[in-house]
Amino acid sequence: MEQQTTLKGACIIGQSGGPTAVINASAYGAIRAALDAEAITKVYGAEHGIKGVLNDRLYVMDEEDPAELELLRNTPSSELGSCRYKMKDPDKDDTDYKRILEIFKKYDVRYFFYNGGNDSMDTCNKISKYCQKVGYACRVMGIPKTIDNDLFGTDHCPGFGSAAKYIATSCMEVSKDSTVYDTPQITVVEIMGRHAGWLAGSAGLATHFGAGPDLIYLPELDFSMEQFYADVEQVYARKNKVLIAVSEGIHYADGRFVSEAEVSATDGFGHAQLGGLAVRLADALKARLGGVKVRGIELSLLQRCGAHLASGTDLAEAELAGRAAVEAAVAGQTDRMVAFRRVTEDGQYRCEVELLPLADVANYEKKVPLEWINAAGNGMAQGFIDYALPLIQGQPERPTVASLPRYAKLKKVLAK
Amino acid sequence: MEQQTTLKGACIIGQSGGPTAVINASAYGAIRAALDAEAITKVYGAEHGIKGVLNDRLYVMDEEDPAELELLRNTPSSELGSCRYKMKDPDKDDTDYKRILEIFKKYDVRYFFYNGGNDSMDTCNKISKYCQKVGYACRVMGIPKTIDNDLFGTDHCPGFGSAAKYIATSCMEVSKDSTVYDTPQITVVEIMGRHAGWLAGSAGLATHFGAGPDLIYLPELDFSMEQFYADVEQVYARKNKVLIAVSEGIHYADGRFVSEAEVSATDGFGHAQLGGLAVRLADALKARLGGVKVRGIELSLLQRCGAHLASGTDLAEAELAGRAAVEAAVAGQTDRMVAFRRVTEDGQYRCEVELLPLADVANYEKKVPLEWINAAGNGMAQGFIDYALPLIQGQPERPTVASLPRYAKLKKVLAK
């Protein structure tokens, strides 16, 4: 939807869902573009996403030191605060929507930018449609974000490239570390991604460069403990050491997550175990292979916030996504999400921005194509490498103090 | 002990104990200096430390491409392979020593360099004394290495600064990530260091720069679960979020490791738990504080092999230690370990090499001085910050291919 007339008023920028290494770069792109836009009279940052709107907790971004704002590029996690808040169907309960409208009117908000993943685009879509329904002029734009890379309609998501780079680099290092003795060792690395295997697949970049997992398991395929044992035993027989990467979301054919499956004798979990998936699988292999040394490593939050290892490409694209959302809205667009289209010319990767209807992207999940998984179902095919490698390129300059990261220090002045 | 005459012959360089981000930089320093030394006729690298000597598995370093050798600086873990092998008392069983002497004679080995921590210096010392006893001229030098930083007699150890930098940076990132929602959250980060708290203490560098753990527990002090609960509850009441760093080696007053202590109702572990210490403590806090969201994060191998985040100071000093060992031996020294003395002039840190008798350093452990821990026993004092900060300085150039680390690829030609 495009509106030709100039719309003057304030804007709100909100961050939502799980943080990433570069979501603040998107915030910076949006805030900077909004501060520079003539049509935008005031720039508010919502504290903890939509909750900040509902609670009338808005930070005045115009009050911030520009140099500190720029350091948002260097600051992992969601500096404005995030939330996981599911908006109700406005046809059933419009309480929240009325409140949002009230706040929009109070601050003359005519632009709303929401930065997040699937659920956040749903929020964004509902608010956009509600404003249209009640005839309140507000341009609403979604800015994509998720390390999980499962947003529909965009080639990839800001946040994924940096997480992928962290995972690949860490797997290379663990591969080196876990093979140092002449004694047998099995190491299982657990990687985020409940429903899509983009992140676990990124461990395949390490393997591609000769120091990565021997076996990789994604949630796109059903997991079989018997096949897993057979795969591991084959590698183990050959070299006495096995490095395995698993997505946290691997599941049996009946849909049960391996991480949550009932303890049973048949699947090798002979006694109650409460550790994470990596520890459970490592212990099962220890029992199976007769006391071999095992280690489970969960990359946990580290893979999500590893800003010191951010991909330069991802960082630049995250900022671009924020800026593009503001510029498109000021130019008349609304009800859209910023998306990326990949252009490959002469083997060179290039990323172009396009705008997708919010309704088309909200709530759909994009999974790893099965042809990018190897035939044995335990590793990545070249298609995945070709897809992921351009996204992790570039080591940006990272401001430091005493060789430790220097993060943005915002004043966070609340609007009255 | 100093020998004035020139000693001509081959040398062996071995790596031992747990790997680090920079142990290969020490290997490079030693190998490069040995290749350049006129007195040294051949340079061997032992496969898996002293085991490679016992098994007659020696790599000929003279055969390696110099450019690949130099990439050892960029390669984490022990590229020659490591071992954990405890040498027997030669007065009780000299089988291994006779075998080592046989190999030394076979290859005319007159220089032996061993790179490792406490146990490795014990190995080094025993071999040195045995050579002296049987009158075999061989100059033996220890090169210090341990992320644990617990080697006696040296201001600090190569490997520690890089691990400390990894820990501090990761804690800063986790601090940002784990405070993003407006809901309560408690996060426990488990850090290596069984008997000394140097590594866990390094989390205090993050706190010093405003984004680190609220509470830090070291093995230098007895751990009390009641005091721990009181500490956590105090922070929790104030800000709803608590980030805690614990050394894996924390123990009760009776010596039992908290990680291994029997499950009991009194210490809050109400049901059987097999996860690591971080998960156990997080679960105990969840039970105590009534279902608050908790997360345990174990830095595991990542903190030991995080070469991408190596300290430039540590890297340079690691290489220096290797080179200094060779140069000192060629100049006539033997039966010594390379150690570091800290010189501070006009507030500037400088590191000088000194040589300590092997017998003085073997088997002694250096702990964090109690005055460097705060009065409450749950954080670091300024003395520790002043000590550790210079050791993490500098971001060295790291060779990459496609934005991932480029590690050394050695030919590893075995000596005949």
* Three-state SS annotation for A232-294: HHHHHHHHCEEEEEEECCCECCCCCECCCCCCCCCCCCCCCCCCCHHHHHHHHHHHHCCCCEE
Q: What is the mean pLDDT of residues A311-335?
A: 98
Least confident of A121-130, A386-395, B18-27, B254-263: B254-263
pLDDT for the residue numbered A362: 74
Q: Is A108 exposed, middle or buried (0-12, 13-18, 19+ CB in 10 A)?
A: exposed
Chain B residues with CB under 8 Å of A279 CB are 274-276
Over the stretch B191-225, which tens digit does the pLDDT of each residue have?
999 999 999 999 999 999 999 999 999 999 999 99
Sign of CA dihedral B85, B87, B92, B94: positive
Q: How confident is the model at residue B4 (pLDDT cuts 50, 70, 90)?
A: low
What are the φ and ψ backbone dihedral angles of A87, each rounded to 5 degrees?
A: -75, 140
Select from B16, B115, B395, B403 the residue whose CB has the most chain A CBs within 10 Å, as the one to mutate to test that interface. B403
With a cut of 90, say whether residue B157 has pLDDT above it: yes
Q: Cβ A76–B301 below 8 Å, yes or no?
A: no
Q: Cβ B404–A169 below 8 Å, yes or no?
A: yes
Q: Cβ B389–A402 below 8 Å, yes or no?
A: yes
Over the stretch B326-357, which tens digit does the pLDDT of each residue have?
999 999 999 999 999 999 999 899 999 999 99
Catalytic residues of A: 148
Whole-angstrom CA distances from B88 to A388, B91, B130, B144 are 51, 8, 12, 21
pLDDT for the residue numbered B291: 80
Helix (H) or strand (E) holding B382: helix B382-388
Q: What is the mean pLDDT of residues B12-34?
A: 97
What are the φ and ψ backbone dihedral angles of A260, each rounded to 5 degrees?
A: -120, 0
Listed in sequence order, the residues at least 6 apart from A347 whose beta carbon sits closer than 8 Å to its beta carbon are none
Q: Cβ B274–A276 below 8 Å, yes or no?
A: no
With a cut of 90, say whether residue B173 has pLDDT above it: yes
Q: Which of A62, A61, A65 is nearest to A15 (CA)?
A: A61
Q: Do the Cβ atoms of A46 and A80 come closer than 8 Å?
A: yes
pLDDT for the residue numbered B272: 41
Q: Do the Cβ atoms of A336 and A359 come closer than 8 Å?
A: no
Size of interface A-B (CB pairs under 8 A): 178
User: How crowded is residue A37: how many other Cβ atoms within 10 Å of its Cβ?
Assistant: 17
With a cut of 80, say whether residue A282 has pLDDT above it: yes
With a cut of 80, say whether residue A270 has pLDDT above it: no
Q: What is the mean pLDDT of residues A18-25?
A: 97
Mean pLDDT, all residues of chain A: 94
pLDDT for the residue numbered B365: 87
Q: What is the mean pLDDT of residues A138-143?
A: 98
pLDDT for the residue numbered B276: 86
pLDDT for the residue numbered A3: 61
With a cut of 80, say whether residue A135 has pLDDT above it: yes
Sign of CA dihedral A378, A383, A389, A391: negative
Looking at the partner chain, which of A77, A179, A295 has a beta carbon nearest the beta carbon of B177?
A77
Distance, in Å, from the CA atom of B73 to the CA atom of B397, rounded to the nearest integer, reads 10
Q: How confident is the model at residue B53 (pLDDT cuts 50, 70, 90)?
A: very high
Amino acid at B399: P
Helix (H) or strand (E) holding A52: helix A50-54
Looking at the partner chain, which of A181, A308, A394 has a beta carbon nearest the beta carbon of B403?
A394
Q: Cβ A173–B298 below 8 Å, yes or no?
A: no
Looking at the partner chain, which of B209, B297, B394 has a beta carbon nearest the beta carbon of A301?
B297
Alpha helical stretches, state H, B178-211: 198-208
Beta B58-60 vs B40-46: how paired, if at all?
Answer: antiparallel
pLDDT for the residue numbered A373: 98
Looking at the partner chain, which of B205, B279, B405 has a beta carbon nearest the beta carbon of A172?
B405
Catalytic residues of B: 148
pLDDT for the residue numbered B265: 37
With a cut of 50, say whether residue A369 has pLDDT above it: yes
pLDDT for the residue numbered B338: 98
Beta B185-191 vs B215-217: how paired, if at all?
Answer: unpaired
With a cut of 50, say whether residue B179 has pLDDT above it: yes
Q: Do the Cβ atoms of A312 and A393 come closer than 8 Å?
A: yes
Q: What is the mean pLDDT of residues A108-134?
A: 96
Chain A residues with CB under 8 Å of B206 CB are 404
pLDDT for the residue numbered A120: 93
Distance, in Å, from the CA atom of B296 to the CA atom of B280, rounded to the nearest integer, reads 8
pLDDT for the residue numbered B237: 96
Distance, in Å, from the CA atom of A171 to the CA atom of A175, rounded to the nearest integer, reads 6
pLDDT for the residue numbered A80: 98
Select from B54, B178, B182, B304 the residue whose CB has the most chain A CBs within 10 Å, as the one to mutate to test that interface. B182
Over the stretch A166-225, which tens digit does the pLDDT of each residue have?
999 999 999 999 999 999 999 999 999 999 999 999 999 999 999 999 999 999 999 999
Q: Do the Cβ atoms of A73 and A66 come closer than 8 Å?
A: no
pLDDT for the residue numbered A269: 43
User: How crowded is residue B406: how many other Cβ atoms within 10 Å of its Cβ?
Assistant: 14
Distance, in Å, from the CA atom of B101 to the CA atom of A94, rounded to the nearest integer, reads 85
pLDDT for the residue numbered A1: 58
pLDDT for the residue numbered B267: 42
Whole-angstrom CA distances from A25 to A117, B210, B309, B365 are 15, 21, 22, 45
Distance, in Å, from the CA atom of A391 to the CA atom of A21, rounded to the nearest integer, reads 14
Q: Which domains does chain A carry?
A: 9-146+306-364+394-405 (3.40.50.450), 160-304 (3.40.50.460)
Q: Which of A262, A237, A222 is nearest to A373 (CA)?
A: A222
Q: Do the Cβ atoms of A163 and A199 come closer than 8 Å?
A: yes
Q: Do the Cβ atoms of A285 and A232 come closer than 8 Å?
A: yes
Over the stretch B277-334, which tens digit does the pLDDT of each residue have?
999 999 999 999 988 999 999 999 999 999 999 999 999 999 999 999 999 999 999 9
Q: Do the Cβ atoms of A198 and A62 come closer than 8 Å?
A: no
Which residues, in sequence order, are bridge partners of residue B243? B187
Whole-angstrom CA distances from A236 to A201, A207, A217, A231, A381 are 21, 17, 17, 9, 22
Beta B9-15 vs B109-116: how paired, if at all?
Answer: parallel
pLDDT for the residue numbered B261: 72
Helix (H) or strand (E) holding A100: helix A95-106
Structure tokens at A30: 């949006």
DSSP B326: H
Q: How confident is the model at residue B5 (pLDDT cuts 50, 70, 90)?
A: confident
pLDDT for the residue numbered B384: 98
Q: Is B253 exposed, middle or buried (0-12, 13-18, 19+ CB in 10 A)?
A: exposed
Structure tokens at A309: 């290892």
pTM confidence score: 0.96
Q: Which of B157, B76, B63, B89 is nearest to B118 (CA)?
A: B157
Chain A residues with CB under 8 Å of B279 CB are 274-276
Q: What is the mean pLDDT of residues A10-21?
A: 97
With a cut of 60, say whether residue B81 has pLDDT above it: yes
Whole-angstrom CA distances from A292 to A120, A216, A285, A286, B18 are 45, 20, 8, 5, 18
With a cut of 90, say whether residue A263 has pLDDT above it: no
pLDDT for the residue numbered A220: 98
Listed in sequence order, the residues at least 6 apart from A204 whose beta carbon sits closer than 8 Å to its beta carbon are A212, A213, A216, A245, A379, A380, A384, A385, A388
With a cut of 80, say whether residue B374 has pLDDT above it: yes
**Strand residues in B19-125 grouped as ranges (E):** 40-46, 58-60, 109-116
pLDDT for the residue numbered B270: 41
Q: How confident is the model at residue A364 (pLDDT cuts 50, 70, 90)?
A: confident
ipTM of the complex: 0.96
Q: Do the Cβ atoms of B33 and B70 come closer than 8 Å?
A: no
Structure tokens at B67: 């450019």
Q: How many CA atoms lie within 13 A of B22 on its CB side?
A: 34
Over the stretch B216-273, which tens digit does the pLDDT of each residue have?
999 999 999 999 999 999 999 999 999 999 999 999 999 999 988 754 434 444 444 4
Q: What is the mean pLDDT of residues B116-130?
A: 94
Chain B residues with CB under 8 Å of A84 CB are 181
With a cut of 60, say whether residue B144 has pLDDT above it: yes
With a cut of 90, say whether residue B101 has pLDDT above it: yes
Could you give the 3-state DSSP secondary structure of residue B310?
coil
